[in-house]
Structure 1
């Protein structure tokens, strides 16, 4: 799921014009060594925190069907995770970096959810919303200074982007539907051979149960002299 969110963000930023401007979108950690090796305008989208949104955890399961409508399995409900990215712009001049960062902020602030056309893999299969919150209140519990210190990098302006996405639950296969009746086989007795082929159970004299099958409500015969509730005696 994480790599699918990465791809969705990359496509979203490229649609905003970064690719046409010759700006590269990468997901590398902006370390000091990395920054000295870059040689083109770059936007770094660095993932530094992952945690589950436990308030959205669910129980139960959902049926999975094949093309003919038969149940083939049961899927556990998805679990939701918040992915927090630090987005930075890298050029040769601070003014150009700020201009590029402003373009990125405009793109990310314009959407609340990742457009479905940018969903791939399990995100496309689930068909659920992927929320985007750009430059909102931080809930990761890690400050920007802590991140830069861990990277041993030079601190600069950045945008915190939090993406909340579903992780697909596991699918447990279900057995095929019952299409044949019960078969009884008898073992060989002292008087002869048993029934190797077996015989299918049948109900002699059973009537057509109707469109609702044997679950439909039917009138019950009462013993002689027993009164029906709200009526006269049974015949």
Structure 2
């Protein structure tokens, strides 16, 4: 799931306002050594935090159907995780970096929700849209200054991009076979001494139940008509 979110974010950042610009989009950790090796304008989206969004956790089970729309399995609802990316621009001039960050904002702001049809692989198979937040209030416990310190680099302008994605919960449980027959009642006949003298099985299929209900309703209407005559 995480690598599919990476793919989605790279595709978003490489399109929109940056489409056709030739700006490279990478997921590397922006350490001091990495910055020293960089020799071309680059957008860096570094995944620095993964946390479950417990407010989205659900209980119960979700039915899984086959091509005939028959329930064959049941699974728990997916768990949602917040993937936080530190998005930075790297050029030789600060003004150019600011232009790239403006282009990133212009690209991501209209894409607050990514529909399931635009998601790849198993992420798209879940059939759920994915929300994207850009430059919102930081809720993670680590500050950006701490992150830059851990990377060994100097603090620079950045955008905090959060993609909240579902992750399938396992295991799946087999569902019982579909009901194809009605209820069957077995009647035992006993004599005066309590000895069984025979059995009779009466099957109540859906068609029979419906026919019996219709017959009872017709008889009730006839009785009511006789009382009023």
For this structure pair, what is the TM-score category when the shorter chain's length is used for normalisation? 0.7 to 0.9
The answer on whether the counterparts of 2:17 and 2:107 sit within 8 Å (CA) in structure 1 is no
> Contact 1:11/1:118 (CA < 8 Å) preserved in 2?
no
Q: Who is 2:42 aligned against?
A: 42
Q: Which moved more, 1:13-22 or 1:130-139?
A: 13-22
Alignment partner, residue 61 of structure 1: 61
| 1:122-160 deviation digits (Å, cap 9, x = unpaired) | 221112121111111110121111000000012210001
TM-score (norm 1): 0.75
Q: 2:207 aligns with which of 211, 215, 232?
A: 211
Indicate yes or no: 2:151 matched with 1:155. Answer: no
Any conservation in 1 of the 2:115–2:128 contact (CA below 8 Å)? Answer: no
Unaligned runs of 5+ in 1: 181-201, 220-235
Which residue is equivalent to 1:106?
106
Q: Deviations over 1:175-208 (max 9, x none)?
A: 544779xxxxxxxxxxxxxxxxxxxxx955x466
RMSD over aligned Cα, in angstroms?
A: 2.6
Name 2:175's counterpart in structure 1.
174
CA contact (8 A) 2:133 2:163 kept: yes
Query: What is the TM-score when the length of structure 2 is the normalising length?
Result: 0.77
Deviation larger for 147-156 or 10-19: 10-19
- Aligned equivalents of 1:70, 1:117: Cα separation in 2: 24
Shift of 1:5: 1.2
Cα deviation per residue 1:191-235 (whole Å; 9 max; x = unaligned)? xxxxxxxxxxx955x466442759x8798xxxxxxxxxxxxxxxx
Q: Which has the higher helix share?
A: 2
Greater strand share, structure number? 2
Using the TM superposition, name which of 108-117 and 160-169 deviates more: 108-117
Three-state SS of the structure 1 residue aligned to 2:20 is coil
Report the more deviating stretch, 13-22 or 65-74: 13-22
Q: Secondary structure at the match of 2:18?
A: coil
Residues 101, 175 of structure 1: alpha-carbon distance in 2 compared, 3 angstrom cutoff: same
Which residue of structure 1 aligns with residue 87 of structure 2?
87
Name the CA shift for 1:74/1:44 in 2 (closer, same or farther; >3 Å).
same
Per the alignment, residue 23 of structure 2 pairs with 23
Alignment of 1:113-132 (within 5 A): 113-132=113-132
Contact kept, 8 Å, 2:52 with 2:81, in 1: the verdict is yes
Partner of 2:2: 2
Structure 2, unaligned runs of 5 or more: 182-198, 217-229
